[in-house]
Structure 1
Amino acid sequence: MNINNQTIIIGGGIVGATLAIKLAKAKMPVTLIDARPKMTEQDWKVKLSNRDARVYALSLSSINLLKEADAWQYISDLDRKADYTQMHVWQPNGVGDLKFADEHASNLLGSMVEPFVIDHALFLAMQNEEVKPYLKVITGQKVTNLDWLGDSVGYQVTLKDKENEQRLCAKLVVGADGRGSFVRAQAGIQLDTLDYKQTAICCAIKTQKRHEATARQAMLTTGTLALLPLADITDEDIKNPQHWQSVVWTLPTYDALSLLTKDEAHIANELAFATGYELGNIEKIESIASFALNAQQAKTYISNNLVLVGDAAHGVHPLAGQGLNLGMLDVAALFKVLMDDYKRSCNKQWGLLQTLKKYERQRRANNSIMMHGFSAINWIFAGYHTQLAPVQHLRSEAVNMVSKNRVLMNWFNKQASGL
């Protein structure tokens, strides 16, 4: 079967699904291909009944994009988010804490939301009547081949499930299929990579003290340790709120793997000690997992009739929790340049290479700055040579000076919001 489409998005995660809804709402025909099996209502119900240790720190710009996709209302209705109004960054052996937003302010900096909660909201948004006529969703099928048929035609995409094979054609293919992007590999696009030789331990914890709507990050000599507010989901949590948090603890890989051989009580004690008991003892710990850390960026985000977004284009260190937010900024930029040039051509030209180049110019340089900036911050605090006493002193004084500079702190607040 051969189906002609204006756009095929490969990868049904948050970035790909958001772009698909945005295009469909603009009445631009789009097909979204998600290799994951189709979820039933019962599947969603079971998934939503559990707490996920992972969480995305959504900036205000990402929240606004989800609002435009009509997905944010479902997250709000479910009350499965933890808003935060402050960010607290500190170094245990230094001076000068960084606190973004005044202690008594109530201005929203962002929201912590579990990945599958966002997935579910986007799934519901795809059922909206204004979206359905222009959006075709294919689930449970894997893309096996991409064939470029020329600028005027675009790509032929071959799909296969357990029994059938089908081919689709589209003028534009969008790769939103994650760090190990098949689309990127098929297009022959190479990667710049950086191995941090670090591993992140993630888990959900219940702390003795409340998080007070504050996202915390300790800059340790072994790596960063983030404590991110989690939504309260049980009746017990709601009666005594703000005690559950998501942890992303960066350690040298050997140390992380060694710690993971210990029991939960030992890990909880080590974690509380590492935070300097900022929130007291850890009363419960759940869903301990780990992943190796590296940064990567595609040498180009585009090719003829093809473009990369999100993790398929770039992956950054998790120390600032900006990975998804950068991907959502990709979506906003790509949607705008596509629609602007389409309207400028009197609704005739779609996804031209010159249009895609505008997107790449806007996003690749910015993402490079963010990627290398996060790498530099990680090295400044966790690099071997930066543990020398004189360097530690200079680092502490620099942090202290920044913390007292209102102009710089206001600038950092703006950057954190993504606006």
Structure 2
Amino acid sequence: MLWQALEGAGVRRLCPAEVRACEARGDRVTLELADGESLSARLVVAADGAASPLRAMAGIAVHGRDYAQRAVVAHVATERPHERTAWQRFLPDGPLALLPLADGRSSVVWSLPEAEAQRVLALDDAAFMQELGVASEFRLGRIVSTTKRAAFPLRLQLAESYQAERFVLLGDAAHAVHPLAGQGVNLGLRDVAELRDVLVAARDAGRDFAAAHVLRRYARRRRSADTLDARGFDALARIYAWQSPSLVAARGLGVRLLDRLAPLKRRLAEHAAGL
């Protein structure tokens, strides 16, 4: 859908492509591609993932912590329809999520310790589908087919700055969070909305939309909000990692209490949805 929207907006796509150098020169930024092509623009928006090569080229450092987990991901077809409903189960090793896809399949995000993730990746399709079914308590019935599995390391990661000269970060290039809250994409979309508002306001006022003070407004607002959210998700990850029976009981009590506090529960849901 997003690729189609780009085509409809007349955006030129260079895919695949690799940026070898990024340099600001006066009121332009020049990108040198691996194939020798050179691109020039007034602003570079880096949304190239948690390992962002562009962020490194801009000299922006990151900090955070490693969860010593990997998220095993795949698309699966299930015996029963997902009914456009996301389902999540918190297991001792980490959360398992089944997320609805438009084609009727579900996207699996299964957070596991490193060694267990490697074991699950090595399973054949039949064994993987059986283990996934058991782990999900067959909520959607039997798993009837699966794509090839992949995995990515889980980290809490925040860029120390969201901007450089005629350059901004957004999405996972700016912040990476644990998937247990399912908020990674939402945070990225909020970055996009904020950047759009800031750039449009500057353009409509006749100002240089890529000027440092304009980009600083975006960077300050989003980094502050993203830091609060990321720390909140990190606290949840720590809480759900508790193994002590007394702490597990306290966690369960807190969840049940939250479920009964309708106004707070509604407010948290609205915040998660960006409302």
What TM-score results when the alignment is normalised by the length of structure 1?
A: 0.61
User: Residue 118 in 1 paired to residue 2 in 2?
Assistant: yes
**Which one of 184, 187, 190 corresponds to residue 323 of structure 1?**
184
Q: Is the 8 A contact 2:162 2:169 kept in 1?
A: yes
The corresponding residue for 1:416 is 272
Q: Quick check: 1:142 aligned with 2:13? A: no
Q: Does 1:287 align with 2:153?
A: no
Of residues 175-184 and 361-370 in structure 1, the stretch that sits farther from structure 2 once superposed is 175-184
Unaligned runs of 5+ in 1: 1-116, 127-131, 233-241
**Structure 2 counterpart of 1:158, which letter?**
E
1:155 aligns with 2:14: no
Kept in 1, the 8 Å contact 2:186–2:273? The answer is no
Structure 2 residue 243 is matched with structure 1 residue 387: yes
Cα distance in 2, alignment partners of residues 259 and 216 from structure 1: 20
Does residue 145 of structure 2 align to residue 274 of structure 1? no
Q: Which residue of 2 aligns with 1:261?
A: 122
Deviation at 1:187? 1.4
Given residue 302 of structure 1, which amino acid in structure 2 is its aligned partner? Q
* Counterpart-to-counterpart distance in 1, 2:174 and 2:257: 35
How far the C-alpha of 1:139 sits from its partner, in A, is 4.5
Query: CA-to-partner distance for each residue in 1:288-325, whole Å, 9 max, x for gaps?
Result: 22222222111000122221122221122222222222
1:407 lines up with 2:268 in the alignment: no
Q: Does 1:313 align with 2:183?
A: no
Structure 1 counterpart of 2:159, one-letter code: A
Contact in 1 for aligned 2:186/2:272 (Cα 8 Å): no
Q: Is the 8 A contact 1:207 1:282 kept in 2?
A: yes
For 1:411 and 1:319, locate their aligned partners in 2 and report how far apart those are by CA, in whole Å.
19
Q: Secondary structure at the match of 1:204?
A: strand
Q: 1:124 to 1:305 in 2, by over 3 A?
A: closer
Are positions 1:338 and 2:199 aligned together? yes
Alignment CA distance shift 1:174-1:207 (3 Å):
closer
The question of whether the paired residues in 2 share the 8 Å contact of 1:193 and 1:296 is answered with: yes
Q: Offset of 1:260 from its aligned partner?
A: 2.3
State the shift of 1:251 in Å: 0.8
Q: 1:158 to 1:281 in 2, by over 3 A?
A: closer
CA contact under 8 A between 2:75 and 2:107: conserved in structure 1? yes
Mapped contact 1:202–1:247 kept (Cα < 8 A)? yes
Q: TM (normalized to structure 2)?
A: 0.91
Change (3 A) 1:302 1:261: same
> Displacement of 1:212 after TM fit?
2.8
Aligned equivalent of 1:184: 55
* Per-residue deviation, 1:392: 0.8
Q: Distance in 1 between matches of 2:38 and 2:33?
A: 6
1:65 match = none
SS in 2 for 1:287: coil
Shift of 1:154: 3.5
Larger mean Cα displacement after TM superposition, 353-362 or 287-296: 287-296
| Alignment partner of 1:296 is 2:157 | yes
Flag the 1:404–1:331 CA change in 2: closer, same or farther, 3 A: same
Q: Specify the alignment match of 1:94 in structure 2.
A: none
1:202 aligns with 2:73: yes
Deviations 1:99-122 (A, max 9, x none): xxxxxxxxxxxxxxxxxx432x22
SS of residue in 1 equivalent to 2:63: strand
Q: Of the two, which has the highest radius of gyration?
A: 1
CA contact (8 A) 1:224 1:378 kept: no
CA drift at 1:145: 1.6
**Equivalent in the alignment of 1:97:** none
Change (3 A) 1:286 1:157: closer
- Please give the root-mean-square deviation of Cα atoms over the aligned residues, in Å: 2.1
8 Å Cα contact 1:230/1:246 also seen in 2: yes
CA contact (8 A) 1:154 1:172 kept: yes
Instruction: Judge conservation of contact 2:79–2:140 (CA < 8 Å) in 1.
Output: yes
Q: Are residue 252 (structure 1) and residue 113 (structure 2) matched? A: yes
Alpha carbons 1:203, 1:248 under 8 Å: kept: yes
Which gives a bigger RCO, structure 1 or 2 (Cα 8 Å, sep 6+)? 1
Shift of 1:182: 2.3
Secondary structure of 2:48's counterpart equals: coil
Letter aligned with residue 366 of structure 1: A
Per-residue CA deviations over 1:344-374 (Å, capped at 9, x if unaligned) read: 3xx2423111111110121001111222222
Partners in 2 of 1:269 and 1:348 — Cα distance? Answer: 59
Structure 2 residues without counterparts, runs of 5 or longer: none
Cα distance in structure 2, aligned partners of 1:408 and 1:348: 41
Contact (CA 8 Å) 1:204, 1:285: kept in 2 or not? yes
